[in-house]
């Protein structure tokens, strides 16, 4: 079993906001992340798949194929968008890094499976100080 990771990038706006709370509560819990007019990040997305290297190619998965899946299934919906307003698979969710990573996992899983590999981990780096990892 070998683990192969592909790294892609997207730049997005978001805010952390719980609609069932008052503005004061949101500010207290989320601090600056609750700014009404949004802020944003250069997100780094690490997608790790696992499997046996194919004897004809030496690949767990063809990196071109993996990159294409990630781009078409998630990055094209996230890059230069607003995570709170523009992304179908995040509708109605708090856009914490944790929830965005879980959302990306759910979108990618079947398409990786279809290629004969298994999704192992989605790692999402939000800033130089915070990242999250989800293993399903």
Residues binding a copy of itself (CB under 8 A): 1-9, 11-14, 16, 18, 29-33, 35, 37-42, 48, 53, 56-60, 62-64, 67, 79-82, 85-86, 93-99, 101-102, 127-135
Strands (E), 15-69: 39-51
Q: CB neighbours (10 Å) of residue 77?
A: 19
Catalytic residue among 39, 52, 72, 80: 80
Please identify, using beta-carbon distances, which residue of 32 and 114 lies nearer to a copy of itself: 32
User: What is the nearest approach in angstroms of a copy of itself to the Cβ of residue 71?
Assistant: 12
* Alpha helices, DSSP H, located in the chain: 23-30, 63-70, 76-78, 97-114
Q: Which is nearer to a copy of itself, 7 or 23 (CB)?
A: 7
> Is 80 known to be catalytic?
yes
Q: How far is the CB of 82 from a copy of itself (least distance, A)?
A: 4
CB of 110 to a copy of itself, least distance (A): 20
Cα–Cα distance measured from residue 44 to residue 10, given in angstroms and rounded to the nearest whole number: 7
Find the catalytic residue in 33, 44, 121, 133: 33
Distance (Å, rounded) from C-alpha 68 to C-alpha 64? 6
Q: For the chain, percent helix, then strand, then coil, each to nearest 5?
A: 35, 30, 30
Collapsed DSSP state (helix, strand, coil) of residue 116:
coil
* 133 in catalytic set: no
Cβ-based nearer residue to a copy of itself, 113 or 135 = 135
Catalytic-residue membership of 126: yes
Instruction: Point out the residues that are catalytic.
Output: 33, 80, 126
């Amino acid at each position: 079993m070998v683990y192969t990771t592909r790294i892609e990038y997207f730049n997005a706006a978001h805010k952390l906001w719980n609609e069932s709370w008052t503005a004061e509560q949101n500010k207290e819990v989320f601090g600056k992340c609750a700014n009404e007019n949004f802020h944003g990040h250069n997100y780094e997305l690490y997608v790790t798949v696992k499997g046996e290297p194919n004897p004809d190619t030496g690949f767990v998965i063809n990196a071109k194929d993996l990159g294409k899946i990630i781009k078409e299934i998630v990055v094209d919906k996230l890059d230069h968008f607003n995570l709170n307003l523009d992304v179908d698979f995040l509708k109605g969710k708090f856009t914490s890094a944790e929830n965005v990573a879980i959302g990306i996992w759910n979108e990618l899983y079947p398409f990786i499976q279809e290629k004969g590999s298994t999704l192992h981990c989605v790692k999402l780096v939000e800033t130089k100080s915070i990242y999250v990892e989800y293993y399903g």
